A and B are shown apart, each in its own frame.
Chain A
Amino acid sequence: MRFVLHLLVMIAVALGIGFGLSYYALTDGRLFGAARAGVWTAWPDIGTTMPNPYTRSHIARADVLQLGRSEGLQFTATTDSAGQPLDLACNYRLDGHTPMATFWTLVATDPEGVNLARKGGDIAIRSSNLARTNDGAILIHVGRHLAPQNWLELTGTGGPFSLVLTLYDTTAFSGLTSAVEAMPTITREACS
């Protein structure tokens, strides 16, 4: 009886660790192939010719046309800088600087990758069409409620969403360190 109990516990632990760790590695992936910069996550190995096994599995799971290493790098944020999940019911403000790049784009998508911008409005924010502050920093408002200056207008009633920042021809992660010094912060504003 004791043997069976031990065996069951061992199998439960093995399955939990085996599949749980795999799921974590391919979704959050922080200790595996993914790199974090503030609230932003990227897979720096994704566009290389020999990605590591975790990145390879992530590529198979994401199943999208990823950027080659020399083309650029994509960062995704699912929470604001306070750690709260991004919610469509709220407005958010992006402040700060981005790593050096020829240009970048910012889009908002739902968990399935569907673009949430208002039909007929701007589908994305592009770095070249941006009003900047005096020191060159960005200030972008994202959400359903009217906002001044740069505003990515979204539609929808509520629920989680992601912000995707794609840097083209960027120097991020190309140096000796894996640290990205400058990424915008995401601050929650009014909710309804």
Chain B
Amino acid sequence: MIRTLLWLLGGLLLGGAIHIIVILTLPSLAEETVWTRIAALDARDRVVVLPDVEPGEPNPFGLDPTLVYGVCQVDLSEGPAYMSGTMPDAFWSVALFNEQGIVTYSTTNRDGIGTTLDLGIFNAAQTRLLAQQQLDIEEGLLVVEAETDDLFVLLRLAPPHAAMRQRFKDELAAVTCSSGPSS
């Protein structure tokens, strides 16, 4: 009897170990990730407005149908990334995703930045250089330090009414996004 219980206890412990291994390895096992699907959009150094969510159609990115989304992929290995544009006077937010699909930075227009989007993304070495050179940073420029070089930026705009969607999309498409030596 005791022997059977010990075997069961062994099974429980082994099950716990399997559980921990599954949870820890699952993120690295996925073949198709948000990153690969964003990469397929050809959004390198430019803002791509994501298509609207339609009823009855698949929604692979899990988007909110009332919002307008723009995405831009950047690579900091050659130089910092820079994003600038004027946003409409409504709720908008910006999020920085890494290759694992984890948000490493996010903010909204309520953080005192109003309708001006002026975002500089630097990796650790570039931030250090920026501090050493004691360069004057333009007022209003949002400096974000990223831990990895490969990133994508997601902009969310919330049109108060469906009739404003097209205007919001146009304003989103006019946002500039660049990375590397030219920026």
Residues in chain A within 8 A of chain B (CB atoms): 6-7, 9-19, 21-22, 25-26, 47-49, 51, 53-54, 56-57, 59-72, 102-103, 105, 107, 109, 112-119, 121, 123-124, 126, 128-129, 155, 166, 168-169
Contact = CB atoms under 8 A, between A and B. Distances in A.
Given A22-B22, A68-B105, A169-B110, A14 B53 contact: no
Contact of B57 (A13, A59, A114, A121): A114
Given A53-B23, A64-B60, A119-B54, 8 more contacts: A56-B27, A59-B27, A60-B26, A60-B29, A64-B34, A65-B101, A66-B101, A168-B93
Interface in B1-57: 3-4, 7-8, 10-12, 14-19, 21-24, 26-27, 29-30, 32-34, 53-57
Interface residues of B, number: 60
A66 B24 CA distance: 20
B99 to A, nearest CB: 12
Contact of B66 (A25, A53, A60, A126): A126
A71 B19 contact: no
Contacts of A103: 91, 158
Residue among A119, A121, A126 with most chain B CB within 10 A: A126
Contact of A123 (B65, B102, B107): B65
Contacts of B8: 9-10, 13
A13 B11 contact: yes
A17 B20 CA distance: 11
B106 interface: yes
Contacts of B24: 53, 57
Interface of B, secondary structure class, is mixed
B22 A71 contact: no
Contacts of A68: 93, 95, 103, 105-107
A70 B107 contact: yes
A123 B59 contact: no
A55 B45 CA distance: 30
Interface in B71-85: none
B91 A102 contact: yes
Interface centre among B23, B27, B110 (most CB of A within 10 A): B23
A128 B154 CA distance: 24
Contacts of B66: 105, 123-124, 126
Contacts of B56: 114-116, 119, 155
Grouping DSSP codes into helix (H, G, I), strand (E, B) and loop, the A interface class, with mixed when no group exceeds half, is mixed
Given A10-B11, A16-B15, A123 B55 contact: yes
A71 B106 contact: yes
24 contacts: A13-B11, A16-B15, A17-B19, A18-B15, A18-B17, A22-B19, A49-B102, A53-B24, A54-B23, A56-B27, A59-B101, A60-B27, A63-B33, A65-B34, A65-B69, A69-B103, A70-B108, A71-B108, A103-B158, A113-B60, A115-B57, A116-B56, A119-B55, A123-B54
Contact of B7 (A6, A59, A114): A6
Nearest to B57: A114
A189 B12 CA distance: 44
Contacts of B168: none
A47 B106 contact: yes
Contacts of B100: 56, 59-60
B104 interface: yes
Given A10-B10, A11-B11, A54-B23, A66 B58 contact: no
